[in-house]
Amino acid sequence: MQTTSILFLLRKNKIRGLNNQIRSIQFRADMTNLLQETVQYACNHCITLLVGLLIVLFYRFCVAPFTVFKKLGISGPTPLPFFGNSIQNRLNPNIIPKCQMEWSDKYGKIFGVYVFRQPFLVIADLDMIKEIFVKEFPKFHDRKKLMKDLKKPYDRMLTIVSGQKWKDIRSTLTPTFSAAKMKQMMPFMNEAISILMQKVDRISKTGEIVDFHRWLQSLTMEVILSTAFGVKAETQTVENDPITELAKKAMAPHPLVGLLFLLPFGEHIMNSLQDPFDFEKILAISADIIAERTAGKDSTNAPRKDLLQLMLDAKEETGGEKIDYDDIKAQCLTFLLAGYDTSSTTLAFLCYELALHTDVQDKLRDEIDRMWPEDEESPSYDSLHNMQYLEMVINEAVRKYPPGFILQRDCMEACTIKGLHIPKGLPVMIPCYAIHHDPEIWPKPEKFNPERFSEAEKAKRHPYAFMPFGFGPHKCVGMRFALLEVKLTLVRLLKKYKLEKTEKTAVPMKFEVMFVLTCAPETVMLKITPRD
């Protein structure tokens, strides 16, 4: 009986095993048939499936990114697939300031635009701008990074770095630009300006017409190398000086950047390219400057307290916690580029307008004669500071031609300003050029009129109607340096010479949009003659 039961159980298990094998075989057969049918269906409908996939990809990359402002109920120019609102600007970047004005006129003080697939909330409402820059600054602390994975040390540049690292670098650099430090830099500025004056004296006797903007670029490069890094350069006396030429190339727009932003993984491709802007060559110059300074730190001569030395001292004092060599190299690169370009551009716009408006030039020269005694070889820091009409002329130039024609901040935390909800991650763009040319704020904005900046006129305006250097904690750290350089150059020039327009001077002004607003080549074609 027991043997019979055991045999029965063995037979039952065998039958169950056979059934499982049959089911397994049947399952595999079913799966094979399903796979064959799927492959057959795909072959028969490959075009339909391909079209469907393309539709999904098209929506993901060409439609969905451009629905942000529609969902928020914010108007703006209609974006195009891939390009957003950038196709005109990509074909001709020089129309960006004009687009700002046209869109502001059409859509008001608040509207949305797309820089390729990246949405930007454009705000020209001055009260809202004040809240963003000051009251709500913790929520708009950083700028939007269009490229998230920058290589070192480029990710440490003051204009890009964010968070606590930005605070550390900013607090290290700020003491360099105190009034006391500016006074110490004046002799080095004067040395470079004296070379310019020698060149000007030569052409004043021959009547030669020159592209004065190019001369000013060489001047400001020499000034920044000398005052910030203690390097004696010859950028003004060497034709097509290689350092200045590298800086020009680095600051120029690159068509490859725009094309790569069209691609979903464009920024990763960008990072894999070998130095498309020649930044590495400029960085190598910065590294050489740092190496030369650190190699001589054991010298008995006290090092000059310039920008570079302050950064090196901060590194030693904190053991590299606040600022390290990568940070120092990044700031050297930043100041080599920004320090030469914005100052030379501002000076070029000033000389251009003064050549066109001889009445303004004469009035400014009268003030220079009153404030700068004949027995002084160079104007003092205090004399420059007290030249009120000079300040007005410079302000009108950077009002009409703001080098930083756009400001932007990233919304780090959702907030509501004047009833407008701004979601986290939506960057804000401030159209400085459009604000500086708003006829409701500045009557006849295309006219060069320094009287706009008299004390009486300034009192009538919103303080945030004029922001050539930004506002709040992110305000340009080198503003005082740039203004001193511009004032000293202009005052020394007008003390002895007259700026005159010629048949080659471009009227109206032709500017170019690079990383900043600058003059087009062969635009500021001037003749300089001895004053009467």
What is the rounded CA–CA span in Å between residue 512 and residue 265?
Answer: 29
What is the rounded CA–CA span in Å between residue 141 and residue 411?
Answer: 8
Range 489-526 burial, b when 16+ CB lie within 10 A, else e:
bbbbbbbebbbbbeeebbeebebbbbbbbbbeeebbbb
What is the rounded CA–CA span in Å between residue 61 and residue 82?
Answer: 7
528 in helix, strand or coil?
Answer: strand
Number of H helices, E strands in the chain: 21, 11
- Neighbouring CB atoms inside 10 A of 348's CB total 27
What is the rounded CA–CA span in Å between residue 410 and residue 148?
Answer: 13
What is the rounded CA–CA span in Å between residue 258 and residue 248?
Answer: 19
The pair of structure tokens assigned to 344 is: 């030379």
The answer to whether the CB of 514 falls within 8 A of the CB of 253 is yes
Place of tokens 């498309």: 276
Based on the number of CB atoms within 10 Å of its own CB, is 110 exposed (0-12), middle (13-18) or buried (19 or more)?
A: middle
The pair of structure tokens assigned to 312 is: 């090196």
Side chain identity, residue 78 = T
What is the rounded CA–CA span in Å between residue 87 and residue 106?
Answer: 19
**Distance from the Cα of residue 112 to its chain's centroid:** 20
**Distance from the Cα of residue 358 to its chain's centroid:** 33
Q: β-strands 415-417, 517-519: how paired?
A: unpaired
488 in helix, strand or coil?
Answer: helix
What is the rounded CA–CA span in Å between residue 528 and residue 531?
Answer: 9
What is the rounded CA–CA span in Å between residue 501 and residue 503?
Answer: 7
The answer to whether the CB of 224 falls within 8 A of the CB of 344 is no
**Distance from the Cα of residue 425 to its chain's centroid:** 20
CA torsion through residues 479, 324, 162, 156, sign? positive
The reply, when asked if residue 332 is annotated as ligand binding, is: no
The answer to whether the CB of 482 falls within 8 A of the CB of 343 is yes
CA angle (81 as vertex; 77, 85 as ends), nearest 5: 30
Q: Which residues contact 16 (CB under 8 A, 6 or more apart)?
A: none
Entry field: residues in the chain: 532
What is the rounded CA–CA span in Å between residue 21 and residue 23?
Answer: 5
Annotated binding site for heme: 476
Annotated binding site: 476
